[in-house]
């Protein structure tokens, strides 16, 4: 317990059991990756989650908000404000549908498509950074390990899904 009272700099801290903990290190890596992506994109209004919403809408044109929420593991009430922003930015369009008048379908605008392409260039660069870090040959293996973690954790916690 005898320990100096001051002068501890960040690097000197002992991490104890955290140092080897899988969950802890997973979080640290994810945060670092998040920051690197945000730094690369520069646009505070376009964090990874917003970008992921753009991708999902692009890949599933006519997706409804409820479907987007379910595939994102978020409440529909959480989707609304994020989507309002994307609409305000002119990237996403809501369209009513005749067959079910409760529903709003989602579509990328032309500007949304352009923004998607810009952001995807950044995302590809980001992915290359991570790939270089782990080594090309480890990519498939690494993705496999991550997906096994997702399966086991969801199985344990009983979550249908929590993508995005």
Partner DNA sequence: TATTGTTATACTCTATAACTATA
Partner DNA sequence: TATAGTTATAGAGTATAACAATA
Residues between 109 and 148 with contacts to a copy of itself, criterion CB under 8 A: 120, 123, 126-127, 129-135, 138-139, 142-143, 145-148
- In this structure, which long-range contacts are made by residues 108-112, counting pairs with CB atoms below 8 Å and at least 24 apart in sequence? 108/54, 108/57, 108/58, 108/61, 112/54, 112/57, 112/58, 112/86
Residue 1 and residue 146: Cα distance in Å, rounded? 39
The answer to whether 139 contacts DNA (rule: CB under 7 A) is no
Please say which residue, 30 or 78, places its beta carbon nearer to DNA: 78
Q: Cα dist. 92→41, 42, 129 in Å?
A: 19, 20, 29
Closer Cβ to DNA, 12 or 132, answer by number: 12
17 binds a copy of itself (CB under 8 A): yes
Residues 21-80 that bind a copy of itself (CB under 8 A): 21-40, 48, 52, 55-56, 58-64, 67, 70-71, 73
Task: List interacting residues with DNA (CB under 7 A).
Answer: 44, 47, 49-50, 64-67, 73-84, 94, 99-105
């Amino acid at each position: 317990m005898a320990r100096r009272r001051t002068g501890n700099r960040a690097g000197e801290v002992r991490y104890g059991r955290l140092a080897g903990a899988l969950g802890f290190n997973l979080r640290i890596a994810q945060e670092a990756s998040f920051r690197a992506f945000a730094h690369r994109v520069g646009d505070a209004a376009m964090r990874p989650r917003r970008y992921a919403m753009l991708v999902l809408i692009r890949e599933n044109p006519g997706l409804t908000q409820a479907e987007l929420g379910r595939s994102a593991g978020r409440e529909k009430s959480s989707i609304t404000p994020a989507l309002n922003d994307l609409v305000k930015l002119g990237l996403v369009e809501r369209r009513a549908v005749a067959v079910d008048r409760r529903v709003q379908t989602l579509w990328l605008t032309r500007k949304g498509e352009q923004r998607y392409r810009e952001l995807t260039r950044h995302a590809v660069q980001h992915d290359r950074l991570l790939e270089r870090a782990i080594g090309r040959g480890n990519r498939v293996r690494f993705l496999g390990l991550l997906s096994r973690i997702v399966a086991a954790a969801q199985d344990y916690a009983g979550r249908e899904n929590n993508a995005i």
